[in-house]
Structure formats: structure tokens, C-alpha cells
Amino acid sequence: MRRKPDLLWVLVLVFGLGMVTTGYTQSQWQQGKSIAEAGRAGF
């Protein structure tokens, strides 16, 4: 019974890290895309 909370915390931690990293990479990708589009438009 002692292991179940630990496994739950590990899953929560992994899921939270995944959410943070995906949100961060997605925002970085969108910024890079908008910068590239602005550069192509001639600004």
C-alpha cells in the first residue's frame, strides 16, 4: 500500500512536466513562425 501514492505522485509529476514542456515548445514554435512570416513580409 505504501507504493501507490508514490506512483501517483510520479505520474502527476511526469504529466505536469509534459504539459509545461509542450506549452513552452508550442509557444516557442508559434513565436518563431510569426517572426519568420514577418521577415518574409519585409518588416
- Tell me the per-residue pLDDT of 12-30, one tens digit each, with 9 for 90 and over: 999 999 999 998 888 887 7
Is 26 part of any domain?
yes
Is 1 part of any domain?
no
State the chain's mean pLDDT as an integer.
81
| Position with higher pLDDT, 34 vs 22 | 22
Task: Identify the band that residue 34 occupies on the pLDDT scale cut at 50, 70 and 90.
Answer: confident
The CA-atom distances, in angstroms, between 22 and each of 3, 8, 35 are 28, 21, 20
Stated pTM of the model: 0.53
| Total domains, the chain | 1
Query: What whole-number distance in Å separates Cα of residue 20 and Cα of residue 17?
Result: 5
Is 19 part of any domain?
yes
pLDDT of 5 = 78
24: domain range? 7-39
pLDDT of 25 = 86
